A and B are shown apart, each in its own frame.
Chain A
Amino acid sequence: MTTARTVPDPPCEPPWESEILSRSDEARDLFTLRLRLTDARTRTAYRFVPGQFNMLYLPGVGGVPISIASDPDAPETLDHTIRAVGRVTRALADLGPGDRLGLRGPYGRGWPLRDAEGRDLVMLTGGLGCAPVVAAIDYAVARRERFGRLVILQGVKHAADLIWRARYDAWAELPDTQVRLAADHPTPQWPGHVGLATDLLDEVTFDAERAVAMVCGPEPMMHAGADHLVALGVPPERIWLSLERGFQCGVGHCGHCQLGPWFVCRDGPVFRWTDISWLLGTPGF
C-alpha cells in the first residue's frame, strides 16, 4: 500500500456526540444524514480521506459502519448515506434534524488519490457502492487540473434506485469528463444504458495504460469490473476496490472482518486488486 493513503490509526474510544443537521430521503429506504460533531474541538480536529468510514451508534440499539460521502475539504459536516436493512439502520431511519447520535472514526484506508494525480480516473460503481466513491469524485472535481480524464460509471438494478441524479448531471458538464449510467430494469424515460455498468467500459474513452480505477459495488460486479478493466489494458495494480464486512470495532480487534491475511476495517476497506483477487469471490471469505 502507499504512504499517501496513510492516516493515523484511530484510538479505541467511546463515540463522540453528533447532531443531525439535515436529512435527505434519496429513494425508498435510502436516506442521507448530514452530521456535525457537537464538540467544537473534536470537530476541528476531525479529518478523513475519501473511502474511509465512521461507526454510527444509537444508545440501546448499537452501531453500524457507514462510509463518508461528503467532501473531505469540509469535514465539519459529514454525510452518511444509509440503506435501512437491519436493526440499527432502521432505527437510524426514524431520526431527523436535531436528533443526537454517536459517531466514532474515521476508520480504514481510503482511495489512493495522491498516487492517482496526473492519471485518468475511472470510477466504476454499482448500487449503493457509489457512496464511498462520491467523496473521491468530489475530491477530484475540486482539483480537476491535477487529473486526466474523469470517467464516472454507475449501475443500478432498477432505474428507480438511482440517487444523486443532479450530481451526475453536473459532473457530465465538466471538461474531459464522461458520465454514463446503466440500469438492469429501466423505466420508459431511462436515459442511460440498459444492462450492466461494466458494459459501459467499452463505450468510454480513457488511456487504459495510464488510468487508475476505483471500483465499489456488489462483489460479483467488482470482480467482473476488475477483469474487464484488466482486459482493456488497465494495469491490475492500479485497480482499487472497496470491500465491506461486518465491522464492529473498526480497529482490527473484533475479528469480524478477518479476510485471509487482512482485517478489512484496518487494512482496507480499499484494497489493490492484485492483493485480494486471489481470495475475492471465494464463497465464505
Chain B
Amino acid sequence: MTPTGFLQRDRLQTLLDRLRERGYRCIGPQARDGAIVYDDLKDASALPVGIGSKQAPGRYRLEHNGHGRCFAWSNGPQALKPLLFAPRETLWRVARGTDGGLRFEPESHRPERRAVIGVRACDLAALALQDAHFTERIADPGYRSRRRDLLLVGIDCGHPAETCFCVSTGDGPAVTAGADLVLTELDAGFVVRSGSDAGAALCDELPLRAATDDELHLADAEIDRARRSQHRRLPGRDLRDPLFARLDHPRWAEVAERCLSCGNCVAVCPTCFCSTEREEAALDGGGAEHLRIWDTCFSAEHSYLHGRLLRPDTERRYRQWLTHKLGGWHDQYGRSGCVGCGRCIAWCPTGIDITAEAAAICADDTGAVPGISPGDGP
C-alpha cells in the first residue's frame, strides 16, 4: 500500500462525515467502564484522546497521558469478533399451528453498512481467520451478511502492550492487508493509505495533502519502535507437531492447577469461534426461538456426549484449547489460530501466558523447540 496523503488531525471528523454520507454507521474505539470498547462513534471527539493502557498478565488498566493522540492505546478486550460473529443470535423461529404443523422462519438479515475505525493488524488477521471459518466452505448467513457491508479503517499499531506478540506470529504491528483504508498516527495527524477501491474512492473525498518525507519517515519509525518494543514471542509459527507429540506432558497438569476454566481467554480471543445452540420456548407453548450463543471449550457442557463428558477436567480442556489454537488450526485453516494480540494473557484472572505455556510444552531438554528454526519469529 503506497501512501495516499496526509490528513491533519483537526480534519479527522471529515472521515466520519464522508462515511456517514455514504450510508455507513461508524463504529470506533471509546474509553468506557475502564476499557477501550468499540461502539457507535458519532463524533471524532469521542475517540479516546490522551488515553493509553497498561497491560500485564492478569491486568488491564487505562491511563490518562495528556497527549493529543486518539489511537495511542493497546487493544482492549473487544476485537471485531462481536460485530460479525454475534455473541447471541437467533437462527430461526418456529410456530406450531393448531393442526400440529410446524412453520419454520429463518432469521432475516437486514443489510447495514458499517465502518469500523481504528482496527489493529492483529484483529484484521483474526478477521481473515473468522472469514475462513464462517464463509469459505459453508457460509453462515448472518455472518456473511454483516461481513459483506463492512468497511474497515485500519490503524498501524504504535503502542503494543507488554502482553502483545504480533511480531512473533507475523500479524503486526503494521497493517499490510485486509483494510480499506490505513492510518498511521503522528502528532500532527495521519499518514493515509488506501487498501481497496472503496478506500481509494474515500480518499478522493478527504481533504488530504501530500505527506512530507519527514512524515513518512516518522510513520515508519512509529512502526519500527512498536516492533522492537515487543519481547514476548511464541517459540515458532507452526507448533502443531511438537504439541501433538506432547499430549502427556506434565505441564498440562501444572497449568490446570492455575487455570480456573472460566473461559475469559476464549471470550476475548479474536479467532475463537465455538458456539452453542439454545432453545427458548414461547410462554404459550406454541412456538420457540432457536438461538446461537458464544461457547467455550473450557465449559463442561462443551464436551458433552450422550450422558458423559469427554473432557471432565481442566487439564484436558486447556490441552484441547491450546492444541487446537496452535495445532489443529494449521490443518483446518493453513495457519495458527493465534494472531499475537495478547488478550488471553491480560484478561486471564490468574495471568496464564500462552507464550510461556507453549514454550514449556514444546521445548526439549535443552530448551529448544524441535523442528523450529532459530530464525523463526522476531
User: Is A85 interfacial (CB 8 A cutoff)?
Assistant: yes
Q: How far is the CB of A168 from chain B (nearest CB, A)?
A: 24
| Beta-carbon contact of B324 and A59 below 8 Å | no
Q: Taking A59-B96, A100-B102, A254-B295 as contacts, is the C-beta distance between A9 and B287 under 8 angstroms?
A: no
The stretch from A148-156, A191-199, A241-249 touching chain B is A241-249
| Beta-carbon contact of A102 and B331 below 8 Å | no
Residues of A within 8 A of B279 (CB): 59-62
Q: Mark A42-64, 1 if CB is under 8 A from B, else 0.
A: 00000000000000010111110
* A201-255 residues at the B interface, CB under 8 angstroms: 244-246, 248-249, 251-255
Q: Across the two chains, which residue of chain A brings its CB closest to B303?
A: A246
B310 contact from A14, A248, A285, Cβ within 8 A:
A285
The stretch from B27-35, B172-180, B270-278 touching chain A is B270-278
Q: Across the two chains, which residue of chain A brings its CB closest to B102?
A: A17
Residues of B within 8 A of A13 (CB): 106
| Beta-carbon contact of B138 and A9 below 8 Å | yes
Q: Which of B102, B139, B323 has most chain A Cβ within 10 Å?
A: B102
User: Is A186 interfacial (CB 8 A cutoff)?
Assistant: no
Q: Mark A94-131, 1 if CB is under 8 A from B, else 0.
A: 00001111100000000000000000000000000000
CA distance A57 to B304 in the complex (A): 18
Q: Mark A272-285, 1 if CB is under 8 A from B, else 0.
A: 00000011001111
Q: Mark B250-271, 1 if CB is under 8 A from A, else 0.
A: 0000000000000000000000
| Beta-carbon contact of A86 and B307 below 8 Å | yes
User: Is B216 interfacial (CB 8 A cutoff)?
Assistant: no
Q: Taking A14-B106, A255-B297 as contacts, is the C-beta distance between A284 and B138 under 8 angstroms?
A: no
A60 contact from B101, B281, B292, B319, Cβ within 8 A:
B281
Residues of B within 8 A of A99 (CB): 100
User: Is A1 interfacial (CB 8 A cutoff)?
Assistant: no
Q: Across the two chains, which residue of chain B brings its CB closest to A17?
A: B102
Residues of A within 8 A of B137 (CB): 9, 252, 266
User: Is A271 interfacial (CB 8 A cutoff)?
Assistant: no
CA distance A98 to B320 in the complex (A): 43
Q: Taking A59-B94, A255-B273 as contacts, is the C-beta distance between A246 and B305 under 8 angstroms?
A: yes
Residues of B within 8 A of A263 (CB): 332
User: Is B24 interfacial (CB 8 A cutoff)?
Assistant: no
* A8-23 residues at the B interface, CB under 8 angstroms: 9-17
CA distance A62 to B317 in the complex (A): 25
Q: Taking A102-B104, A283-B316 as contacts, is the C-beta distance between A253 and B276 under 8 angstroms?
A: no
User: Is B328 interfacial (CB 8 A cutoff)?
Assistant: yes
Q: How far is the CB of B262 from chain A (nearest CB, A)?
A: 18
Chain B interface SS verdict (over half): mixed
Residues of A within 8 A of B100 (CB): 98-100
| Beta-carbon contact of B133 and A253 below 8 Å | yes
| Beta-carbon contact of A260 and B244 below 8 Å | yes
CA distance A57 to B102 in the complex (A): 11
Interface size class of B (residues with CB under 8 A): 35 or more
Q: Taking A260-B244, A260-B328 as contacts, is the C-beta distance between A248 and B277 under 8 angstroms?
A: yes
CA distance A85 to B304 in the complex (A): 12
Residues of A within 8 A of B332 (CB): 261, 263
| Beta-carbon contact of B101 and A17 below 8 Å | yes
Q: Mark B110-147, 1 if CB is under 8 A from A, else 0.
A: 00000000000000000000000110011111000000
| Beta-carbon contact of B92 and A14 below 8 Å | yes
User: Is B306 interfacial (CB 8 A cutoff)?
Assistant: yes
User: How many pairs of residues, A versus B, come closer than 8 Å at their CB atoms?
Assistant: 131
Interface size class of A (residues with CB under 8 A): 35 or more
Q: Taking A16-B104, A284-B311 as contacts, is the C-beta distance between A249 and B316 under 8 angstroms?
A: no
| Beta-carbon contact of A59 and B281 below 8 Å | yes
Residues of B within 8 A of A254 (CB): 274-277, 292, 295
User: Is B105 interfacial (CB 8 A cutoff)?
Assistant: yes
| Beta-carbon contact of B328 and A253 below 8 Å | no
Q: How far is the CB of A121 from chain B (nearest CB, A)?
A: 28
Q: How far is the CB of A53 from chain B (nearest CB, A)?
A: 13
| Beta-carbon contact of A284 and B310 below 8 Å | yes
CA distance A10 to B102 in the complex (A): 21
User: Is A5 interfacial (CB 8 A cutoff)?
Assistant: no
Residues of B within 8 A of A57 (CB): 290
Q: How far is the CB of B182 from chain A (nearest CB, A)?
A: 30
Residues of A within 8 A of B287 (CB): 59-60
Residues of B within 8 A of A83 (CB): 306
B304 contact from A15, A246, A253, Cβ within 8 A:
A246
CA distance A120 to B59 in the complex (A): 63
Residues of A within 8 A of B327 (CB): 260
Residues of A within 8 A of B324 (CB): 258
| Beta-carbon contact of A59 and B105 below 8 Å | no
Q: Taking A12-B141, A254-B295, A255-B295 as contacts, is the C-beta distance between A63 and B102 under 8 angstroms?
A: no
Residues of A within 8 A of B134 (CB): 253
Q: Taking A254-B295, A255-B273, A261-B328 as contacts, is the C-beta distance between A14 and B104 under 8 angstroms?
A: yes
| Beta-carbon contact of B303 and A101 below 8 Å | no
Q: Mark A154-166, 1 if CB is under 8 A from B, else 0.
A: 0000000000000
A-B pairs, 8 with minimum CB distance: A261-B331, A60-B281, A284-B316, A255-B274, A14-B92, A14-B104, A59-B288, A251-B138
* 27 A-B contacts (beta carbon < 8 Å): A9-B138, A12-B140, A14-B105, A15-B104, A59-B96, A59-B279, A60-B279, A60-B285, A60-B288, A62-B278, A83-B306, A86-B307, A98-B100, A100-B96, A100-B100, A244-B305, A249-B277, A251-B138, A253-B273, A254-B295, A255-B297, A256-B302, A258-B297, A260-B328, A261-B328, A262-B331, A284-B317
Q: A59-B94, A260-B323 are in contact. List 10 more A-B contacts (CB 8 A).
A: A9-B138, A59-B102, A59-B279, A62-B278, A100-B100, A100-B102, A260-B331, A262-B328, A278-B244, A284-B316
